[in-house]
C-alpha cells in the first residue's frame, strides 16, 4: 500500500517550506504572503529507505476575504481523504490560535493518523514554546524548523514506524505536460482527463501557480 502524507494547517505556518524540505526540492512556491499555495501539490520523499508521497496544501481558513477560500478548503479536504497520515503544522512564532483549534477539530473527524508539527523552532529560545500546543489534545508536538531541517529526523522516524507495507516500485511511464497561455482551459482539461477536481478552475488569470502532477491511467479496448 502507498504511504501518502498530507501537510495541513492554517495559512503562513510554513507548509510549503516544510514540503520542499521533505522532498528535497523547490517545487512548492514559498512566499511570506498568505494564499500563495492553492492546489494540492505532490512530491516524493524518502527516509531510511522508505519512500512516500507528500501533499502540500493551501492554508485552511474560514471567513477570510480570499476569493479562493472555498476552493482551497475543497483541495485540503481532498488531500485529507487521499492521505493515510496527516502532518498538522502550527507556528510557534504566532502561538496557538483559534484557527489552529478549528483545524484540529476538523482533522480529528477524519479518523486519520495525525502528527502535530510545531514549525519555526528556529532558535533554542523557542523550544519551550512548543508546549503550548499540547492544549490541542493531539499528543506530543514535534518541534521542527522547516527552514533549517532541525527536528525533522525525530518526526520522520515516528512516521516511518506507522507506515503501511510498501507497494512495488512505480513503473517507468510516459510523462505528458499541458502547456499554454493563461485562461485557455489547461486546468479544466486536466480535471476532465483525470475525472476529478485536481486543480482549481476560475475565470481569473494566474489561478494555477504551482506545477501539478497527477498519475493518469488510460484504458484501451481492443476489438478482434
> Which tens digits make up the pLDDT trace of 76-119?
899 999 999 999 999 999 999 999 999 999 999 999 999 999 99
pLDDT value, residue 66: 66
**In-domain check, residue 95:** yes
C-alpha cell at 50: 522508505
Going by C-alpha positions, the residue among 177, 186, 162, 174 that lies closest to residue 5 is 162
Q: Is position 99 within any domain?
A: yes
pLDDT, residue 111, reads: 93
Please tell me the predicted confidence (pLDDT) of residue 84. Answer: 94
Per the structure, the complete domain to which residue 69 belongs is given by 4-161
Looking at the domain assignment, is residue 203 inside a domain? no
Of 58, 27, 67, 59, nearest in space to 40 by CA? 58
Cβ atoms < 10 Å from Cβ of 25: 13
Instruction: Check which CATH number belongs to the domain holding 122 and give it.
Output: 3.40.50.300
- Residue 11 grid cell: 495559512
Residue 169 lies in a domain: no
Give every residue of the chain whose pLDDT is below 50, as ranges. Answer: 31, 34-35, 207, 209, 218-222, 224
Cα 181–chain centre separation: 27
- Asked if 46 and 21 touch (Cβ cutoff 8 Å), the reply is no
11 found inside a domain: yes
In a domain, 201, yes or no: no
Q: How far is CA 164 from the centre of its chain?
A: 19
> Does residue 167 sit within a domain?
no
Q: How many domains does the chain have?
A: 1
Q: What is the pLDDT of residue 221?
A: 45
- Are 6 and 55 a contacting pair, CB within 8 Å? yes
Is 112 inside any structural domain? yes
| Cα–Cα distance for residue pair 39/47, rounded to 1 Å | 25
50 closest CA partner among 22, 80, 16: 22
Amino acid at each position: 500500500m502507498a504511504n501518502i502524507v498530507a501537510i495541513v494547517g492554517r495559512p503562513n505556518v510554513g507548509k510549503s517550506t516544510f514540503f520542499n524540505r521533505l522532498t528535497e526540492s523547490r517545487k512548492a512556491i514559498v512566499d511570506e504572503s498568505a494564499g500563495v499555495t492553492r492546489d494540492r501539490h505532490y512530491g516524493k520523499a524518502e527516509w531510511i529507505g522508505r519512500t512516500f508521497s507528500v501533499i502540500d496544501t493551501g492554508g485552511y481558513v474560514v471567513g477570510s476575504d480570499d476569493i479562493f477560500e472555498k476552493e482551497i478548503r475543497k483541495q485540503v479536504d481532498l488531500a485529507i481523504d487521499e492521505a493515510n497520515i496527516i502532518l498538522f503544522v502550527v507556528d510557534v512564532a504566532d502561538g496557538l490560535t483559534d484557527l489552529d483549534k478549528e483545524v484540529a477539530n476538523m482533522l480529528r473527524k477524519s479518523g486519520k493518523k495525525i502528527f502535530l508539527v510545531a514549525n519555526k523552532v528556529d532558535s533554542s529560545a523557542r523550544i519551550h514554546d512548543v508546549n503550548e500546543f499540547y492544549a490541542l489534545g493531539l499528543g506530543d508536538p514535534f518541534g521542527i524548523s522547516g527552514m533549517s531541517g532541525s527536528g525533522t529526523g525525530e518526526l520522520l522516524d515516528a512516521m516511518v514506524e506507522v507506515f503501511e507495507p510498501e507497494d512495488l516500485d512505480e513503473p517507468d511511464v510516459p510523462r505528458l505536460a499541458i502547456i499554454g497561455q493563461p485562461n485557455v482551459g489547461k486546468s479544466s482539461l486536466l480535471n476532465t482527463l483525470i475525472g476529478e477536481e485536481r486543480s482549481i478552475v476560475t475565470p481569473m488569470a494566474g489561478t494555477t501557480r504551482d506545477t501539478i502532477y497527477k498519475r493518469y491511467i488510460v484504458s484501451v479496448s481492443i476489438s478482434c
